A and B are shown apart, each in its own frame.
Chain A
Amino acid sequence: MSFLEYDFLVRALVAALFTGLAAPAVGTYLVQRRLSLMGDGIGHIAVTGVALGLLTGTSPTVTAVVVAIIGAVVIEVIREQGRTSGDVALALLFYGGIAGGVMLIGLAGQGANTLQTYLFGSILAIDSGDVWVTVVLAAVVVVVAVGLSPQLFAVAQDAEFARVAGLNVRFYNILVAVMAAVTVTVAMRTVGLLLVSALMVVPVATAQQVTRGFRTTLLLAMGLGTLASTGGLVTAAYVPNIPPGSTIVLLALAGFMAAWPLGVWLRRRQRLAAPFVATAEDDLALAADHTVVPESHAHEHGEDCGHAAVPHGDHVDYVHDGHRHAPHGSHYDEH
């Protein structure tokens, strides 16, 4: 394939692969805590970090990692302390981050073009040092997110229970926040700070459409993220003038749009098959004045008879033209 003859494309592909693997791994825990937009907030704050790097002449990646981690820990502390005013405090932090970044970049004498490479990514300009940083950080994030998944799952699922089970809930919460900050800065070069949250959240939302368990969701989201990031990069490489960040996110969204109808259908099927609640009155109704389906009901209900079979207490009801038929000896009862 001629594609791999270009070194910069190979580097970009490696970076995209690892970003696509790490972002949904962390994103799963953010979605589980219903903090889908936290990645976006950290991205805003990281803008200040990038600007600080440009202003002081140090590596923007390093300053972005540091500022993003500080921001993520502050977000986590605000979330832990305040309950009602938490989201307002977060909003203040987000806007402060991006406004501060824009101001500092101005002070550093850098134009909008420099900022844009961080806001929307510049994966094709990535050098081999950046690739190594990306690979190592992303690998650490993936190992922690998958290796500690029982602990992280328990803490995000039910913090009080996790605490009584002896887990240090604050440590794990801050660990997730730090992992999110690291992922955001890693993905900064791939999809950009403004789009990184999409790569963290959209593959998880897509995976959820078809999964029932946490582990399968986590692994499927990581697979989908990798598919979107590498696929988006290859697409952008063949079409001139398209930033890879946009194709990566649009591909991820296309995946969601494809999975969504499937999810709707699966959930509908599940709802129809959900057991009818058995109450004490049901038994009474069966014993005494129950309604018998007319004898003309020649159809024999059973497996694969075409009518939905729904468990109801100790027996099965067959949904028949909007009412429920329950087998009772030689005839059927209306339920």
Chain B
Amino acid sequence: MSAPEPVVRIRDGAVALGGRPVLRGIDLTVQQGEVVAVLGANGSGKSTLVRAMMGLVPTSRGEVSLFGTPLDDFHDWQRIGFVPQRVSATSGVPATVWEVVASGRLARRPFLRPLRAEDRAAVRDAIAAVGLSDRAKDGCATLSGGQQQRVLIARALAGDPDVLVLDEPTAGVDLVSQQAFADALGALVDRGATIILVAHELGPLAPLIGRTVVMRDGRVAYDGAPVATAHEVEHAGLAGQGHHHPDLQGRPSDHIPVVTSPLDQSARRGDA
């Protein structure tokens, strides 16, 4: 084949969680070397979209393939680096930065063997890339929220992935850490990495983005040149096609099912 396989291809994908349709009619292809931002309001399905890409949630119809291989037959997991949404880097037992990052090496190292020199080097480089070299032997619990997020990114980098998938990497992260993170990501982009990034707001990451996908109400509402925020798409009327709810314009676009009761209603009227 002359053209390289697309990193991710979803054809007519749909996802239902607990019987409730969350994603519908998704057609999305990400080529190698692309830096894609997936934007959207809370509950628009942007996290579910990337989770479906990696088989973390099952699709109810359509097909998903990674590097040209259908998801069910895909075993090259070391090619994927995943940074889950806002999982704290801590657990019930203390763990050092080094240990958490080293767990990102699992897909590459041989089973039941100690870390090889190249594994150690990869872990060291990944920690250095997010600027935490001086904290490598410290417990994760002593780090700030932003530093913990950088640990999770280093863990994904340690596996030398071909594609990096990040779910809200900068949510709740202080501005200094966001900038450090943007710099680390920029270095990867310069090396030709493929990056898929879910975000609520791009912040310092905006200059890196080459393509934006905006999710609304479980559908792809916009797919094209970078825009700064999902709202920009809404207001500019860019989301022409596939827009079935013109009456929603100008209103908050969150589509989380709203639980109302008589008392809630009066409060909502007060808001409006």
Within 8 A of A (CB), among B221-235: none
Given A154-B103, A215-B99, A164 and B77 contact (CB-CB distance below 8 Å): yes
Q: Are A204 and B93 in contact (CB under 8 A)?
A: yes
Min CB distance B230 to A, Å, is: 24
Candidates B92, B100, B174; contact of A32 at CB < 8 Å: B92
- Are A278 and B159 touching (Cβ within 8 A)? no
Q: Which of A162, A167, A204, A214 contacts B95 (CB 8 A)?
A: A214
Q: Quick check: which of A120-128, A145-153, A244-252 contacts chain B, the rest being far away?
A: A145-153
Query: Chain A nearest CB: distance from B212 CB in Å?
Result: 23
Of the listed residues B93, B94, B144, the one surrounded by the most CB atoms of chain A closer than 10 A to its CB is: B93
Considering the chains assembled together, what is the distance between the CA atoms of A161 and B55 in angstroms?
12
- Pairwise interchain contact B175-A157, C-beta atoms closer than 8 A: no
Binds B, one of A54-62, A92-100, A205-213, A296-304: A205-213
Q: Is the beta-carbon distance between B92 and A150 smaller than 8 angstroms?
A: no
Residue pair B91, A156 in contact (C-beta under 8 Å): yes
Knowing A150-B103, A165-B104, A165-B159 touch, does A34 contact B92 (C-beta < 8 A)? Answer: yes
Chain A contact surface mostly: helix
Find the A residue at minimum CB distance from B105.
Answer: A150
B176 touches A157 (CB 8 A): no
Query: Complex: how many Å from CA A214 to CA B56?
Result: 26
Residue B155 interfacial (CB < 8 Å): yes
Q: Is the CB of B96 within 8 A of A147?
A: no
Chain A interface residue count: which class?
A: 35 or more
Among B99, B104, B142: residue with most chain A CB under 10 A: B99
B75 and A213 contact, CB distance less than 8 A: no
Pair B142/A163 contact, Cβ less than 8 Å: no
A215 to B, closest residue via Cβ: B99
Pairs A–B under 8 Å by Cβ, sample size 7: A150-B102, A153-B95, A153-B99, A157-B95, A161-B82, A164-B165, A214-B99
Binding site for A on B (CB under 8 A): 54-56, 75, 77-78, 80, 82, 84, 87, 91-96, 98-100, 102-104, 106-107, 109, 112, 137-139, 142, 144, 152, 155-156, 159, 165, 174-176
List of 8 A-B pairs having minimum Cβ-Cβ separation, nearest first: A166-B77, A212-B139, A164-B82, A154-B103, A213-B96, A214-B95, A32-B93, A34-B92
